Amino acid sequence: MRGARLKGRAALCLLALVTLGSAPALPKYRLQAIPQLHYDEGQELWQLDRRVMACSYCHVKDTGGAPWNPFGQAIQAEFQASGGKAKFPQVLHSLLKADRDSDADGYPDALEVFARTLPGDPASRPEESLTELRVAFEASGGTERYAPAARR
């Protein structure tokens, strides 16, 4: 009986190690975007939590991959406009400074990022009025709050 319990525990430990070892990591761009957009604030384990910034932030599918939503397409266009020379943090900041509304829902992308709604999904809109949100956004530092971290 004791041997069966030990085998059961060993199997459970092995399963846990295999499961934890194969847990998918967040994609590189999300790992860069989350702290740049301050989505990591109050989230100690944000690197392990896919809910902090879902794939649908830039992709149509919740699982990522093609196709891209309008915000994801705008990011791609910014990369192309830079001739492929800009780094992702600069591209993201440039896009947000442009004051575009990728999903045409009446809220510029930077305000949607600030309100933590999806800038590529017209059904995902801030609850605040555009005026109220813009005042709060500017008081918090505006698009400069999303500037890339200075290189050391």
Is the pLDDT confidence value at 150 over 90? no
**pLDDT of 1 over the 60 cut:** no
Q: What is the pLDDT of residue 120?
A: 95
In the three-class reduction of DSSP (H, G, I as helix; E, B as strand; rest coil), residue 68 is classed as strand
Residues in a beta bridge with 59? 68
Q: What is the mean pLDDT of residues 56-68?
A: 87
Instruction: Give the mean pLDDT of the chain.
Output: 81
* Other CB atoms within 10 Å distance of the CB of residue 110: 24
| Contact indicator for 113, 146 with CB cutoff of 8 Å | yes
User: Torsions phi, psi of 6, nearest 5?
Assistant: -65, -40
Residue located via tokens 């992702």? 88
Look at residue 105 and tell me whether its pLDDT is greater than 50. Answer: yes
Q: Tell me how far apart the alpha carbons of residues 112 and 121 are, in angstroms, rounded to a whole number.
A: 10
**Mean per-residue pLDDT, 113-130:** 95
State residue 48's pLDDT score: 65
Q: Is it the case that residue 60 has pLDDT exceeding 60?
A: yes
For residue 133, give every residue at least 6 positions away whose Cβ sits within 8 Å of its Cβ, in sequence order, or none.
107, 111, 114, 115, 126
pLDDT, residue 134, reads 97
Residue 22: predicted pLDDT? 34
* Res. 20 pLDDT band, cuts 50 70 90: very low
pLDDT at 132 over 80: yes
Q: Work out the average pLDDT over 23-33.
A: 69
Which is more confident, 89 or 25?
89
Listed in sequence order, the residues at least 6 apart from 144 whose beta carbon sits closer than 8 Å to its beta carbon are: none
Task: Please give the Cα distance from 80 to 74 (Å, whole number).
Answer: 10
Higher pLDDT, 111 or 24: 111
Cβ-in-10-Å burial (0-12, 13-18, 19+) of 125 comes to middle
| Lookup result for tokens 């384990």 | 45
The pLDDT, as a whole number, for residue 96 is 95
Q: What are the residues whose beta carbons fall under 8 Å from the beta carbon of 88, sequence distance 6 or more? A: 28, 29, 32, 33
Per-domain residue ranges for the chain?
A: 26-146
